[in-house]
Amino acid sequence: MPAKSPRSKSQARELLFGDLWEFDPAPESAPAFIDDRYRLFIDGKHSAPRSKKYFDSISPRDGKKLAEIPVANAADVDAAYQAAAKAFKSWSKLPGAERGKYLFRIARLLQDRSREFAVAETLDGGKPIKESRDFDLPMAAAHFFYHAGWADKLDYVAPGRRLNPLGVIGQVIPWNFPLLMLAWKIAPALATGNTVVLKPAETTSITALKFATLLEQAGLPPGVVNIVTGAGETGAAVVNHPLAAKIAFTGSTEVGKIIQRSLAGTGKKLTLELGGKAANIVFDDAPLDQAVEGIINGIFFNQGHVCCAGSRLLVQEGIETEIIARLKRRLATLRTGDPLDKNTDIGAINSAEQLGRIRELVQSGIDEGAEIHQSSCQLPKQGFYHAPTLFTGVAQSHRIAREEIFGPVLSIMSFRTPEEAIEKANNTCYGLSAGVWTDKGSKILMMASRLKAGVVWANTYNKFDPSSPFGGYKESGFGREGGKHGLLDYASLAPLDITR
């Protein structure tokens, strides 16, 4: 009997259809109802900026102007804080059940207008419409629903203690999840009886300003939520205003450090959710089909514009060749292009500036000796796009293994033992998230206890829930958002009055 020729898993047959069955275009046709020019939202009114200045919001999809966004100066920010301080007197005394009603209304209105907001989010930020439609909008509504439920139960968050509101909360959110980050910030602040002055990122302000119309529909009292737009100077005015009782910031580690220094000694509370360089760790006993999908989702979701993206892949040596082969095959199936097309997997990079940074770091990987692999996709000629990218032969000293790229770029390294995987995973200034892939429950628990990360996913990645706290360690920030822990960061604790 002739001997059977051995065939490794990486040589397994695959179905290659080439160009036989091309996807037909499936553009989203719903209108986004984007105004030509927006105004600030202060004290329940849409008002022109005192600076009389505006800037263009550019769609990364095609590089064209979407709308004009107002620039709030220090006087505008002060007016927003004064309105919020005035509203706090009545809002904080409103029974929790009544505050919850407003949050429920906001959640339902988000659901009612979800298609409109999803299209606006995709046009303004560049993410695929299926992500805006199926993740951002449902999750934003879920945060309002969740915190609406807590509004009348605050005496049960911390046994024997009562949660008291802090006052006016200054909030600054990033451009990667504009509407979702808004929900993460506003919902717990309102549920605990605070009022808000919020500044969205300058490149993605449209959905926040559209959200103001939703607050009007919900009948939210004037001044409870105020929205001011602009760039760094506006953000600094929000952070440093004397009426702010707390600042909640999500963004880069560099800006977070500046904020922390500026608030030192002021007595203001602070939560920071900053950058990350997460390790996605795959052991040789992992379910490989699931792991490959988790790796792809971990780094290419939202074009890699995710602070907890699994941008460092650590693979056990025995399966490294197999995993890389599978990833390259999977990469070839990803569709990069128009984010409004429902077939698109990877949309546009948020801005020309961010695209330039991604290209710089990719070039550094090539220059430092890593081996690059990119899918042979046809990128649109207009707009800001980058092909999904893998790097093999990466050393821990390479910039692509140390710095947050915030783009669709994966750095692949190997390990032999769990101890080596832990050492490599923790060898970073960040500590936001990590992933572990194995069929051994004991190994998962051991890794989770030793990885210095705020969130550790097991045999999955990028799973979020409003009831689960999210946050980091080290230079990924401090404080938590979501769950009971997030509520505690928006309140002070006082003894519970048992005589009531």
Task: Evaluate whether 294 touches 451 at the Cβ level (below 8 Å).
Answer: no
Contact yes or no for 96/487 (Cβ under 8 A): no
Dihedral pair phi/psi, residue 374, rounded to 5°: -130, 150
C-alpha 376/C-alpha 388 separation (Å) is 9
Q: Would residue 307 show up in a list of annotated catalytic residues for this protein?
A: yes
Give backbone dihedrals phi and psi of 157, rounded to 5 degrees, phi first: -70, -45
Residue 65: Cβ within 10 Å count: 10
Considering 121, 131, 202, 273, which one is annotated as catalytic?
A: 273
Q: Between helices 114-125 and 96-112, what is the axis angle to 10°? A: 70
Q: Residues 28, 121, 131, 307: which is the catalytic one?
A: 307
DSSP letter at 390 equals E
E strands, 117-172, in order = 161-165, 168-172
Rounded distance, CA 131 to CA 121, Å?
Answer: 10
* 344-360 residues labelled b (16+ CB within 10 A) or e (exposed): bbbbbbbbeebbebbee
User: 179-204 in b/e burial notation, b at 16+ Cβ within 10 A?
Assistant: bbbbbbbbbbbbbbbbbbbbbbbbbb
Give, as one character, the DSSP assignment of residue 20: S
Catalytic annotation present for 273: yes
Beta strands, E only, 243-370: 244-250, 269-273, 279-282, 312-316
Residues with a known catalytic role: 273, 307
